[in-house]
């Protein structure tokens, strides 16, 4: 899918929509993640600001590499990262990186609102 816009000089600017990193409402995800951790009594709850910092860093990393991955990988990872109606750029970044070990630059330092952050 492409979106065609016209610049002030009349020339078209074509943007491939699929080539852009998906938009995920990580603010809601981080708020819900912090609340869930408090509710279940996790003793060291990741602060909201740390969650947002990690998610924003993961998005920046994704923005730089998203278009280098194939459509099937991007589709699969987007579905996986937003499976339960909430999403995480940390999960999305981890998924695409795992699809191609040659491009792997670990996201282990990022927790964000990842569904997998407490599994290590």
Per-residue pLDDT of the chain (120 residues; tens, 9 = 90+): 444 444 454 444 433 446 789 999 999 999 999 999 889 888 888 899 999 999 999 999 999 999 999 999 999 999 999 887 789 999 999 999 988 876 656 555 666 677 665 444
pLDDT value of position 115: 64
In angstroms, the CA 28 to CA 41 distance is 20
pLDDT value of position 56: 96
In angstroms, the CA 114 to CA 104 distance is 18
């Amino acid at each position: 899918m492409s979106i065609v816009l016209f610049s002030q000089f009349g020339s078209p600017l074509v943007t491939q929509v699929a080539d852009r990193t998906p938009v995920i409402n990580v603010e809601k995800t981080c708020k819900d993640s912090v609340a869930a951790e408090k509710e279940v009594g996790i003793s060291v709850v990741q602060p909201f600001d740390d969650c947002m910092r990690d998610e924003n860093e993961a998005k920046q990393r994704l923005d730089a590499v998203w278009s280098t991955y194939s459509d099937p990988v991007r589709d699969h990872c987007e579905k996986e990262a937003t499976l339960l109606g909430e999403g995480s750029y940390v999960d999305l970044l981890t998924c695409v990186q795992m699809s191609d070990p040659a491009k792997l630059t670990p996201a282990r330092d990022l927790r964000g609102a990842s569904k997998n952050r407490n599994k290590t």
